Amino acid sequence: MSADADCLFCKIVAGDVPADVVHSSERTVAFRDINPQAPLHVLVVPRHHEPNAAATASADPLDLAEIAITARAVAAAEGYDDYRLVFNTGAGAQQTVFHTHCHVIAGRESTWPPG
């Protein structure tokens, strides 16, 4: 498993930085966003460090599948059947932590187009 010593999410995965962890698996960790945009706003991150979803897909596609499985489990545990999954890739798309992560958002109306 690779990690980046300067990465906030790697530090959360390692337990070096506290987070409100709501789910953990062999491949992922899910924790509440510190600036929630909805009643449910959880980040799902792979334990393996890659900078974005495309890099994760290239390095280990099973990590992306596990992110979706974890997201479903988190939403269900919180009582939601409907939820949005968001991956921001790159600074221009508002990615601020360059460790693959998926936002699981539920509990408010989702509009289209997003953004």
Active site residues: 101
CA distances from 26 to 23, 45, 62, 67, 76 (A): 11, 11, 11, 11, 19
Q: Which two tokens stand for residue 106?
A: 């539920």
SS (H, E, C) 21-64: EEEECCCEEEEECCCCCCCEEEEEEECCCCCCHHHHHHHCHHHH
